[in-house]
Structure 1
């Protein structure tokens, strides 16, 4: 899907492919080959730049070629209640246009809508790039807070139920934190490189940084570092929580097996006594209240055994 927009800090309006204006934003979501070739022909952007973000395993990086700069950043994606992932987002800056390429519609680019048109301008390509990166960093922080709250909820459920379902949900959250860790670290490298590019004079036609832009980029770097610290802390907490509850479940299983073994012993005693006394041979008390004596002896022996097992902590 190809959408073309242009904004001027007051309104965001959509353009047709036949009437492209300078400062336009080409937004490609899961594009096909025809759309990629059309955008490449119109903007002059290298086709391999446009295809770079269509690989789900692509890592964050920057690349320069002639008058075009490619920035690939990994953005957070929420795929389910407990399922989180990271997806590459390609941002291509040319002297006249800015292009974004992603495999899926995402919440980061969804923030740049007509309702928020006063907060950004596609004509200010450098600031628009930093605003996209800033939205991505804030979304990481928001998802991390959601993961933390969800972990607390699952912990309360595990204390009461100890079912495998909660363990699997914790595993999904831990997997999402692993993806976030790798993505945030690679994003941090890209941000530091962008900060160094401000001193290169041969890139002034692509990246023109004013004081506000530098402040915004520094804010993005700070938010990204904060997200890295949070994801590392939550990963350690979640890993410790899973180990703890795995041990608790194993201990509960041992207690159940110990209880069943004790009950087996207690049931075996009256069974054994009644089997001896029920043999078809002469036995004591066979004539005078033999059944009452046998049941009394079995009951007394069972109670005595149960007391001994209780003293040893078998119940």
Structure 2
């Protein structure tokens, strides 16, 4: 439910609250100086990544997008995670979708127990940013597998699978761009002036990693769009070829229809009393058929 860990020679404390196990109206939030507005931010799965500084309470609030480990509706998504800093206290609010990050944060503290609050914050954001890369690489792998299947046969199932990958990448592009903008905004925030050189260096490393992530996500999206466009063109060409064949067949079928229609009129006609008249009519149809086929072949070359 709630875990506390001290670091930085015991001067700093990290508190994590599992929002899935603690109701939004719990008094436990108030014990840590979390008001209803912050709770609503933390529990809103559609909350955008952003920062906010409360001058009165001297509280720094940061909401950062975290990649989900499992697919939702056949594609990956990103969900927000809330960080709150007050004095020498870092508080995180997690849920079942992003609590796996806590394990990585704990491992970081084991190796960097002397970290300051803000260094720990920016290092945690770096860890979160780094977790996007394996998921995007997995998407690229899925794209290659689907591409191989589409080369063999362009089916509806394979196209829908490609669409799922595109959807996941679209979510990630939005999430990573929001994270990058958030990190850039920190430089213009009042708290940036209070950071020491080590904390600023960690912030800069996280920002560089976030920008690289955006570029990788955008490249993946561009490749997917090009691939999707290629198969759309292939499907359109196949449809055009099918319509061309059907059109040619419908034109060719008019020849026997015209010939048989002519000799089927209820009036005196040539070959009416000829015992081989029906064979001659068939011959005329065949000659017209092959003649028109030759003309169409020249036209449609």
The RMSD of aligned alpha carbons is 3.3
Question: 2:185 and 2:233 mapped to 1: Cα distance?
Answer: 45
Name 2:171's counterpart in structure 1: 179
Structure 2 residues without counterparts, runs of 5 or longer: none
Q: 1:171 to 1:239 in 2, by over 3 A?
A: same
Name 2:66's counterpart in structure 1: 75
For residue 29 of structure 2, the aligned residue among 14, 31, 39 is 39
How far residue 257 of structure 1 moved from its aligned partner, in angstroms, is 0.9
Name 1:131's counterpart in structure 2: 123
Q: Deviations over 1:250-307 (max 9, x none)?
A: 2221221111011112222223322333445443334232222222222222122222
Name 1:275's counterpart in structure 2: 261
- Aligned pair count reads 293
Question: 2:196 and 2:36 mapped to 1: Cα distance?
Answer: 27
TM-score by length of 1: 0.77
How far residue 103 of structure 1 moved from its aligned partner, in angstroms, is 4.9
For residue 51 of structure 1, the aligned residue among 35, 40, 46 is 40
How far residue 226 of structure 1 moved from its aligned partner, in angstroms, is 0.4
**SS in structure 2 of the partner of residue 53 of structure 1:** helix
How far residue 142 of structure 1 moved from its aligned partner, in angstroms, is 2.0
**SS in structure 1 of the partner of residue 253 of structure 2:** helix
Q: Single out whichever of 276-285 and 46-55 deviates more from structure 2.
A: 276-285
Matches within 5 A, 1:114-263: 118-119=110-111, 125-194=117-186, 200-201=193-194, 209=196, 211=198, 213-263=199-249
How far residue 38 of structure 1 moved from its aligned partner, in angstroms, is 1.1
TM-score by length of 2: 0.80
Structure 1 residues without counterparts, runs of 5 or longer: 10-20, 202-207
Q: Could you tell me whether the CA contact under 8 Å between 1:23 and 1:98 is conserved in 2?
A: yes
Residue 17 (structure 2) pairs with residue 27 (structure 1):
yes
**SS in structure 2 of the partner of residue 26 of structure 1:** strand
Question: 1:7 and 1:275 mapped to 2: Cα distance?
Answer: 97
